[in-house]
Structure 1
């Protein structure tokens, strides 16, 4: 009851505030590439304009607004949490149990170049390619409304994306049957070869969320730890998002107006855009991603839709149940809250529709070969006790020095007594 007492007014206040800001953003037009696109020329804005020029910085204004409001929301959440703990000891204990405030934060030591480093490099490279691909390749078309690779809202990209047509099935079914066949064939090839590896390695939104999570860890701010009950409450939201994603175009709506990437991608590429509601969806992504790693991925409709085909994907998460000691480290490390990978005691394949193939479960597994990632049945990343311990060498050395110092002081204190 006390939780509702504190949270209900805050939720109402946030909803009213976002509605007001969204209305303000609707009228704050930097450039609406959805309308008036025919009068827009790439040569006037991007081709001859160097990156980080004044024109480029002006195009980044919507994203800077998003960052400023996200920081404000994060500070508000931290202030609210501190106030709850101070004013209500019982609620303070509840919050401490849920966020880990009563204990010390998990310490991650320094590791050698490995799988997780490669994953970060691929994510950064993918971000640069998707946002700046057109400029890097030097291929431009005068009738493009936003940069090549920047967003699938642009239907004339060098590389087509399934995102736009899946969110606009009415437009897809209006195409010739040859184009529809090519779309579904290319989509199935992508699902088989990559699956949700796209979420863990290639998605620009995933990179921004991981950066927010890394920033919180760097600032040593405690995050939120969702339990199984709270994860289950996110499922109806995820299914609602999926229903809107697939069916909104049939009722005259456009899911792209709610997509957080719609504002961010063109702004990063140097194109002026309107903030609209998608910009404030991005605020929710950044704030939630700051306190809980990959929070938006738990309700992302496109990601879940790709995950439904995990059984035919060549990338798999495998488990050796004999090597597993049921320590629960994989479940605690998983940003998607997948419990099956921890509880499964018979099946080898523990890949689920929610798995984003980030490898966090394997990275935190302390048992040799208990978990592994494979492609076409060939395992290329395995859990290793040596790798696990290497990440805690720095912490281990500190503990050893502390123990030795304590042992050294104990005889001196005993002699005094």
Structure 2
């Protein structure tokens, strides 16, 4: 444990995992600190597992920049590590004439953001593609590149590949205080498991990112958490839809989606609910019943089918919709905050941007050789809640992956 790290990353969600993977691959000596017992235990354990193209992101936002940088590279990562994904596309459906009037606006915004493949399709084409949809649709857009992945395995694999390349990952390690030593331009990070020293600290604290920033004497944003609930159907429903069925987005977000996971479960969600609780609450029955009614009103074949699971996620939103990626060279600090529902989609782009800030603004060169090559991982699922990646056992924390593993549940369907 002796020595100084080039970079210390605080937070082991998908963003922290992507940052340590990118930095380590490019030769940086890295340490990741996660306060929970397991990686991917907070916001990243309650997402949808969807890789979004950014079709509805603001054209000049940090979010769209990171997503666009991530998207092609994410497929290189998935293929290189041998991870599951399915590019099944998304169909955005307008159910009223008022919603139909928004389709050209969404198409234009998508093209302004650089996604030229978004196209309006006729109702006959819609029902040819999605025969299981309710016959009340009024119009639709086709977004071909939307993709689903295993969100837990993707994040864990980035952290695991970083470990294979020499990175250190410490869980159950709470950051308690930060001290910058100006005489040698080092940052001392005091934790529940001792002190660690790095040349740059990167705050990927997610839901607690504002609290971590305060430890460094910064307070430029506050986390305003948003809760999302999901209802999960069995794999026997997977034939009912061929793509992810999106509603018309609003200022509040993408809305409640009906989608298949990479393992075939059909999910309805997430909701968008105000909450003051950063800790993930359980699902509530009234909301789940509303999601069931919504799903049945859009996909007729869902009527009467059982729900096999529910789960809830909490997004680390802030007062603004865009990401906060801010560099403070005088403090040896980089903040990555406010990474909302597109954290998985933008994660590789975020890692690339952070690395360029470390080199360009903090003048920290990598102390090791590059190791950007990817090697397929041997993954063995160990029901009910573990997976072995190569020879390391991880606790599975995401319901999408847990549904894939619950063989006894599937045998009852």
TM-score for the superposition, normalised by structure 2? 0.23
Determine which structure has more spread, i.e. the larger CA radius of gyration: 1
Q: Determine which structure has the larger helix proportion and give its number.
A: 1
